[in-house]
Structure 1
Amino acid sequence: MRQEPLEGPWLDDDAGRLVRPYTVSNGRTKPTAQFDLLTMVMATGERPRSYLGPDHTHVLQLCGGPVSVAEIAAQIAQPAVVAKVLLSDLVDCGAITSRAPVRAPLSSDPTDRELLEAVLDGLRRRL
């Protein structure tokens, strides 16, 4: 019994994604901007001057609020490198901004109470 596609014509339950990742990124494997999986991206409100494609439009819609590169990759069901290429195109045209993750200072004590409380507070706010 055949089911309807999960997300429009480009995703099929049996076959999976019908458009290959290299097609989505136009064969590119290196983004022009530097991204970490934890880099936060957000739309600037500026519209690209030219139409970039449906995948760029979808990614831009996901960037309404701060969202990580890893979350974008998961939402578009593509490898992280493809998401990074799409995001770098959007950064290049001024449609989104990015902020690298803030690194916590390394502590000699792996059970640093202050750090553990900060993590716990962050989890409580997120849930």
Structure 2
Amino acid sequence: MAPRLEDENPDRLYMVTGGRSNVADDGLNLVTLIVSECDPTPGMQSEHVRILRMCTSPTAVVEIASELRLPVSVVRILLCDLLDTGRITARNPRPAPAESRLPDPDVLRQVLVGLENL
């Protein structure tokens, strides 16, 4: 059975990230899709290897964190390492077209008031 996240050894997290605690704004959010651009190579960090194998098809950052059982902040650091070396690409989902977005809440309130007055 895998250890629970809250049981994670802080020293291990320090080693996994090389002592880094955050990254500059990398544009990665929970739903950013990650895709491997190469196979793992000998000598790579085990977490990097797992990410590359996991992301042969687009995989969300949150899914990667869940599978690795690591905090998202740690996974973002690992992903930045792979992005910097060109081993992965990251794609943010496209925003929905304007016509498929929900109507303005004020318009919905006015419709509700109109219906209540009937």
Do the structures match in fold with TM over 0.5? yes
Corresponding residue number in structure 1 for 2:30: 37
Unaligned stretches of 5+ in structure 1?
1-5, 111-127
Equivalent residues, number: 99
Shift of 1:109: 4.7
* Residues 55 and 86 of structure 1: CA distance in aligned 2, closer, same or farther (over 3 Å): same
Q: Report matched runs for 1:35-114 at 5 Å.
A: 35-45=28-38, 51-104=43-96, 105=98, 106-109=101-104
* Residues 92 and 86 of structure 1: CA distance in aligned 2, closer, same or farther (over 3 Å): same
Q: Report matched runs for 1:23-34 at 5 Å.
A: 23-31=15-23, 33-34=26-27
User: Segments of 4+ in structure 1 off by > 3 A?
Assistant: 15-20
Distance (Å, rounded) in 1 between the aligned partners of 2:53 and 2:40: 11
Deviations 1:54-89 (A, max 9, x none): 111111111111000000000000110101110111
Unaligned stretches of 5+ in structure 2?
106-118
Question: Which structure's CA Rg is the greater one?
Answer: 2
User: Is the CA contact 1:46–1:94 (under 8 Å) kept in the aligned structure 2?
Assistant: no
User: Is the CA contact 1:22–1:28 (under 8 Å) kept in the aligned structure 2?
Assistant: yes
Deviations 1:79-122 (A, max 9, x none): 10101110111111111100012222444256xxxxxxxxxxxx
Provide the secondary structure at the position in 1 that maps to 2:35: strand
User: Is the CA contact 2:40–2:52 (under 8 Å) kept in the aligned structure 1?
Assistant: no
